[in-house]
Amino acid sequence: MMIVFTIIITAIVILLLVRSKQLQDRRRAREAAWFAAARKQQEKAGTTLGGPGNAPGTFRVRPGWLSAEAVRLHEALTAAFPRMLVFSHVSVARILYLKGESDWENQSETARQSVDFLICKKSDTAILPTVVIELDDPASAKKDLRGIGVQKRQAFKEAGIPLLLYAANNLPDVETLRRDVANAVVARNRTVKRTGPA
């Protein structure tokens, strides 16, 4: 009986290792395809991926990767929460995972999206996501989304991370940010207490 159990466990471990290797190979293949496409684009006359002083084909910094409104909101967030960490443009797949779905981050549209700002609490052993802030900015690259997707909002709600939305033309001040985040965290804690741990 023990031998059968050992064989089954060994087979499962081997299958998991093979699956992990397959996923890693797929990611590498996608990355290689991207670089090949970038090189092909570079070969077209008059185009280059290189910036000033760089050899053709090297990467360069995207100019203005944060809109003026996003910069102002980031400044307000760092002033409102000086003891917390404020990250911008974080992938949803870096914050959440779907229980029981190992390939969710590659298959889900929600996982491939990003959040504008993630406020985290830093402890001695971890950096813990506390609140997500989204900027409803029709002039940004999210023009096609026009606000927050229902699935994204639902995913963060299920994970117990409050999501706050602010209009780009009506940004909150520092005190409003502190109050809104405090209210969102208190409401989240009440919900967790009422429903119990997941």
- The strand pair at 163-167 and 127-136 is best described as parallel
**Predicted pLDDT at 140:** 52
**Predicted pLDDT at 62:** 74
The residues near 187 (Cβ < 8 Å, ≥ 6 apart) are 162
Residue 47 corresponds to which amino acid? T
* Measured distance CA(80)–CA(59) in Å, rounded: 34
Q: Which strands form 85-91's sheet, in the order they lie side by side?
A: 85-91, 114-122, 127-136, 163-167
**Predicted pLDDT at 40:** 67
Binning pLDDT at 50, 70 and 90, where does residue 188 land?
Answer: confident
| Beta bridge mates, 119 | 86, 131
Q: Which residue from 13, 91, 182 is spatially nearest to 190, judged by alpha carbons?
A: 182
Binning pLDDT at 50, 70 and 90, where does residue 97 land?
Answer: confident
* Measured distance CA(39)–CA(1) in Å, rounded: 57
The residues near 66 (Cβ < 8 Å, ≥ 6 apart) are 74, 88, 89
Q: Which residue from 152, 151, 155 is spatially nearest to 134, judged by alpha carbons?
A: 152
Question: What is the rounded average pLDDT for all residues in the chain?
Answer: 79
pLDDT of 15 strictly over 90: no
**Per-residue model confidence as pLDDT tens digits over 153-176:** 888 998 999 999 999 889 999 999
Find out whether 149 and 169 touch, Cβ atoms under 8 Å.
no
* Measured distance CA(102)–CA(194) in Å, rounded: 30
* Measured distance CA(21)–CA(161) in Å, rounded: 32
Instruction: Quote the pTM value.
Output: 0.63
Binning pLDDT at 50, 70 and 90, where does residue 104 land?
Answer: low
Find out whether 162 and 187 touch, Cβ atoms under 8 Å.
yes
Tokens of 46: 């008059």
DSSP state of 65: -
**Per-residue model confidence as pLDDT tens digits over 26-84:** 878 877 777 777 666 655 544 444 455 555 567 777 777 788 899 999 999 999 999 99
